Amino acid sequence: MARLLQIFGFLSVLFRGGTLTFGSLTIGGIVFLNFVARRANSQSEAVNKVCLRWIRRAAAALAVMQMAYILASSLILMQSADMTMGDVSGANFVLAGILAIASALTIAAISVVQRPRIYAVMLAPAALILVSSVMTSHAMARLDYRFPLAVVTALHQGATATWLGGLFYLLISIPRSPDNQFARQLIARFSKLALISVAVLAAAGFTLSLAYVGSIPAIYGTSYGIMVATKVVLFGTLLLLGALNFQIARSPSGGSVIASLKRFGEAELGIGITVILTAASLTSLPPAIDLKNDRVSRQEIAARLVPQIPRLASPAVQDLPEDVYAAEVTAFNGGTLSSASFVPGQAGTRPNTPAEKSWSEYNHHWAGLIVLAIGLLAFLAQTRHFPWARNWPLLFLGLSLFLFLRSDPETWPLGPNGFWATLQDPEVLLHRIFSLLVIGLAIFEWRVQTGRVATEGPRLIFPALVAVASGLLLTHSHSLGNIKEEVLAELSHAPLAILGVVAGWSRWLELRLPAENKVRDRMAWLWPTCLVLIGLLLLNYREM
Amino acid sequence: MRLGYTVRLAVCLFASAAMFFVVLPAIAHAVLLESSPSINTTVAGPSIPIKLRFNVRIDATRSRLTLVAPDASTQLLAISKDAPADILASQAQGLIPGEYRIRWQVLASDGHITRGEIPFKVTQP
């Protein structure tokens, strides 16, 4: 049962991220249709049609995600607290979910009608989706200033949806515009809307940070603070891209202007979705202001950051607990777990043994060496003077083999659990699948780098995957009850994720921007630099 | 933005696998700020008031308090309906001396479920 709850616990985080993303796309689309596409001097049926189609898809996906979220959370509650469906049905998250589902289905149904009159009608259910999202936000559970915080949260989420959700609709509208003039009109109108949204978003975000973080030490000393700081850094990147777009939009008409705008918009949207996923993980963390004890101090962070010689010798497999999960259950039954709070499906938090910490450091350091080598070779390859360096993707094969051997030491070939146990434990199985995917990625990118792939589509796989995987690093937190070690681990993982996101999207822009755009050349050097920095950070990763 | 089928498939596959790879179960949200009895303290029996204060509003109807006796038997405790929004209150009666644990599970008003436990010792009055 505990294993089942673990899966449901994981799924509820996944569904929460999906709900926020599709909610933003639905709301953003409706705002775009009403305030950008519809207010243009002339009408384009093709643009309206494609917007309505995607609003319908996003609303349907939102309804499905909400249903799944309610189901997963209800099952967790029913199983862990021995409740019936009737007991659970009045819970706040169920009511909020039903409101979102009803609103999303209404939008999906209305959007079938292809008449401009219905565009404004859709604003009402869009507002209800926002209300539903606020109902399951931190604001609703606060003891003080509940209503003002709910209003500020609604402004924050609404502005995010208008900007990032709307951006998606701008990108799909541009190719369908009847002429360049119409496209530029859409861009100009959206730029104004985006500017207002960004101002509201930043002001509301700052207010929420004051309420939920409250002090500088809480920023670097808690998981919540670290995630907020990460969001701010990514927001800065988005602003930079937005500024580049704004500058281009105001420049005289030229062949590559709209192409550049679209490419920057793609990166902006990708990073924007990463920010939304980070927000999804923030909703699962206790606000920093509530965690007064066990915050990480500046001295502890400084001590952890002092460079040390990487650990290149591994502890013996025999020194590790044979079954990590069983060890946790034993500790739980023996009452030796941390008394901090945890979620159903987990037995609690068991401190890692010194051998486990050494094992993890060794893994990070060797992975760091490989990534550093990849970054340096990619750098050399960009100079065009060292053609052999273009084979750098093959180093990912080494990384894959390393992950395969080291990620689950209790299982074959290193541990006592045989090969077939791989198929029984979903976690081990997924680690193995992940290793296989890295092999696929290595071969694919090697073919791209060595000129064996000419078309653009497959060339985008590597940057897209790097950006997606890095973004996903931000969708979870290690922290339970603010245990210091876990906060310190997150402090090192957040920069890794940011660098990965920047690496992925800068490579994307290098491939996608038109040759006339000077930014393209800078992007060509940015992503290898990020890979080098990731390698260096991994090499200095420590758990003790 | 028109990506080929291969690209989309690869990204989706990788994203799904990476999700499982990096995402751990949902994180605890409600934080236990103080409790009576406190963690690892000794209280005089046989009747003890129980009070748990959290950092957020709690849905008391959908929260649970369970007492684990020294012989590992469990008893569901009735939760008071008159307590403030952030407090779970109850009363345990007829406790003999020994080591006990209160297992708590709360549903916060924002929909997050959290659980934990409070070990304590009961002595003669």
For B:15-74, CB contacts with A below 8 A are: 15, 17-33, 39, 55-57, 59, 61-64
Give the whole-angstrom CA distance, residue A184 versus residue A187. 5
Token output for A96? 């909020």
Which DSSP symbol is given to A165? I
ipTM of the complex: 0.81
- The per-residue pLDDT for range B30-54, each reduced to its tens digit, is 888 889 999 889 999 799 999 999 9
The sign of the torsion formed by the CA atoms of A510, A268, A456, A450 equals: positive
Asked whether the CA dihedral A415, A419, A423, A424 is positive or negative, the reply is: negative
Tell me the chain A residues in contact with residue B23 when contact means C-beta distances shorter than 8 Å: 10, 13-14, 472, 475-476
- Closest-CA distance of chain B to residue A213, Å: 14
Residues 248-287 of chain A whose Cβ lies under 8 A from any Cβ of chain B: 262, 266, 281, 283-287
Selected for mutation to probe chain B from A461, A470, A483, A509 (highest B CB count within 10 Å) is A461
pLDDT tens across the length of chain A (544 residues): 555 566 666 676 678 788 988 999 999 999 999 999 876 667 788 899 999 999 999 999 999 999 998 988 888 888 888 889 999 998 999 999 999 999 999 999 999 887 878 889 999 999 999 999 999 889 999 999 999 999 999 999 999 999 999 999 999 998 888 888 888 889 889 989 999 999 999 999 999 999 999 899 999 988 889 989 999 999 999 999 888 887 777 776 655 778 888 889 889 988 998 888 888 778 778 889 988 877 889 998 998 888 888 988 888 877 776 565 566 556 555 554 444 455 554 444 566 778 888 888 898 899 999 999 999 999 999 998 999 999 999 999 998 888 888 877 777 777 777 777 666 666 677 677 778 878 888 888 899 999 888 787 788 888 988 888 888 777 655 444 446 777 887 888 889 999 999 999 999 999 999 888 888 999 999 999 999 999 999 999 888 7
Q: Where are the alpha helices (DSSP H) in A421-460?
A: 421-424, 426-449, 456-459
| B80's tokens | 């008071």
Asked if A83's CB is within 8 angstroms of B1's CB, the reply is: no
Rg (CA), chain A: 24
Q: Do A464 and B56 touch (CB under 8 A)?
A: no
Pairing of strands B98-107, B87-92: unpaired
Q: Tell me how far apart the alpha carbons of residues A31 and A166 are, in angstroms, rounded to a whole number.
A: 7
Q: In B, which residues are within 8 Å of A431 by CB distance? A: 21
Is the CB of residue A24 less than 8 Å from the CB of residue A130? no
Instruction: Sort out which chain B residues have CB atoms less than 8 A from A82's CB and list them.
Output: 64
Flag whether residue B90 sits within 8 Å of chain A, measured between CB atoms: no
Residue A544's nearest CA partner among A358, A307, A294, A362 is A358
CA atoms within 13 A on the CB side of B114: 27
Distance CA A454, CA A475 (A): 34
List the single best residue of A171, A263, A264, A343 to mutate versus B (max B Cβ within 10 A). Answer: A343
Interface residue of A472, A490, A501 to substitute, partner B, most B CBs within 10 Å: A472
DSSP H or E run through A132: helix A123-135
Tokens representing B76? 């569901």
- Cα(A173)–Cα(A153) distance, rounded to whole angstroms? 29
Instruction: Tell me how close the Cα of B124 comes to any Cα of chain A, in angstroms.
Output: 23
Distance (Å, rounded) from C-alpha A43 to C-alpha A31?
A: 16
